[in-house]
Amino acid sequence: MTKATVYGDKELIQAIKNPHIDDAIIKYFYKNYFADASNYIRMNQGSTQDAEDIFQEVIVNFIEIVRNDKFRGDSAVKTFLYSLTRFTWLNELKKRARTLVREENYHKASDLEEKDISHFVTGREARATVNHIIDSLGEVCKKILMAFYFSELSFKEILPLVGYQNEQVLRNKKYKCLKSLEQEFAANPELARQFKNALMNGH
């Protein structure tokens, strides 16, 4: 059994800034920060599945915050993630419009640091909509675009993954897939604006 790596906050931040996140980092997030987040969500009307969904969202958000140099390091990663979880979950509750009380709590929420964090959860719906649009592109498009832009594979490496006969066919397909997605933004400028804001973490 391999011993799990222990990261200090600085090491963790540095590792996140790499273009490719190692799976070990993701595991580290779950092993060290998920229990608190999960407890909070489940104690506040959330289910285990809610905790899983929200925490996944929180990790993505945190990684993007760090990559955009928006994490100032004033608080520990653990504290920041917990606050981010709280705001994301309260935002979700607000979205579900379950209770007025929750909404009041959300607005009353706490100290300056937390108010500072609250803007990081803006644009959640835009992100969800965009993810839904990507899903609707179809499996082949997703595979090609992810392989190219996320995994940063070459066309040669992608070719066997999709079973195309030559690179030109693949290039054409990739072009169409990306253009489809671009057209979704072109057709919905408000979505594009909100999504852009979300990517910039509310700024």
Partner 1 sequence: MDTNETTEKLIRYINGELSGEELSALKKMLEDDQTARHELENLQLAKSAIRSYGLSSQIAEVRKNMLTDNDEQRPEQTGVYPFMRNLMKYAAIFLVVLACVGLYYYNITSTEKLYTKLYSPYQLNVSRDASGAESLSNSYQAGQYAKVITYFKEQRNPLNKQLFLAAQSYQKLKDFANAIKLYTELLNRKTENAEFHDDAEYFLALCYLETGQIERAEPLFKNISKDTDHLYHDQLSSWDMYKLKIIDWKKGN
Judged by CB under 8 A, the chain residues 71 through 100 that form the site for partner 1 are none
Q: Which of 18, 110, 151, 154 binds partner 1 (CB under 8 A)?
A: 151
As measured in angstroms, the least distance from the Cβ of 17 to partner 1 is 13
Q: Number of residues in contact with partner 1, rule: CB under 8 A?
A: 44
**C-alpha to C-alpha distance for 103 and 179, rounded to whole angstroms:** 39
Decide: is 21 part of the binding site for partner 1 (CB under 8 A): yes
Q: Which of 150, 154, 169, 203 binds partner 1 (CB under 8 A)?
A: 150
Decide: is 23 part of the binding site for partner 1 (CB under 8 A): yes
Contacts of 82 (CB under 8 A, 6+ apart): 33, 36, 37, 40
99/172 with CB nearer partner 1: 172
Q: Give the interface segment with partner 1, choosing from 18-26, 79-87, 103-111, 113-121 (CB under 8 A).
A: 18-26
Contacts of 11 (CB under 8 A, 6+ apart): none
CA atoms within 13 A on the CB side of 17: 11
Decide: is 169 part of the binding site for partner 1 (CB under 8 A): no
Residue type present at position 148? F
Decide: is 149 part of the binding site for partner 1 (CB under 8 A): yes
Q: Which of 8, 42, 1 is nearest to 25 (CA)?
A: 8
